[in-house]
Structure 1
Amino acid sequence: MKMITVFLLITAVLTALIAGLFYAYSCSVVPGLGKLSDTEYLKSMQSINREILNPVFFMSFMGTAVLLPVTTFLFRGEHPGFLFLLLASVAYLIGVFGVTVVGNVPLNDMLDRFDISNSTTEAVKQMRESFENRWNLLNNIRTVFSVISIALVICACIWNRQLPS
Structure 2
Amino acid sequence: MKMTTVFLLITAVLTALIAGLFYAYSCSVVLGLGKLSDTEYLKSMQSINREILNPIFFLSFMGTAVLLPVTTFMFRGEQPAFLFLLLGSLAYLIGVFGVTMAGNVPLNDMLDKFNIGEATTEAVKQMRDRFENRWNLLNNVRTVFSVISIALVICACIWNRYQPE
Structure 2 length as normaliser, TM-score? 1.00
Match of 1:63 in 2: 63
Aligned positions of 1:13-162 closer than 5 A = 13-162=13-162
Letter in 1 for 2:144: V
Letter in 2 for 1:110: M
**Rounded Cα–Cα distance in structure 2 between residues aligned with 1:57 and 1:78:** 31
Q: Deviations over 1:8-55 (max 9, x none)?
A: 000000000000000000000000000000000000000000000000
Letter in 2 for 1:49: N
Structure 1 runs not aligned, ≥5 long: none
Root mean square deviation of aligned Cα: 0.2
Structure 2 runs not aligned, ≥5 long: none
**Rounded Cα–Cα distance in structure 2 between residues aligned with 1:58 and 1:78:** 30
**Rounded Cα–Cα distance in structure 1 between residues aligned with 2:86 and 2:57:** 23
**Rounded Cα–Cα distance in structure 2 between residues aligned with 1:20 and 1:109:** 24
Q: Percent identity?
A: 87
**Rounded Cα–Cα distance in structure 1 between residues aligned with 2:50 and 2:96:** 19
Please give the secondary structure, in 1, of the residue aligned with 2:116. Answer: coil
Please give the secondary structure, in 1, of the residue aligned with 2:118. Answer: coil
Q: 1:137: Cα distance to partner?
A: 0.1
Please give the secondary structure, in 2, of the residue aligned with 1:117. Answer: helix
**Rounded Cα–Cα distance in structure 1 between residues aligned with 2:54 and 2:121:** 32
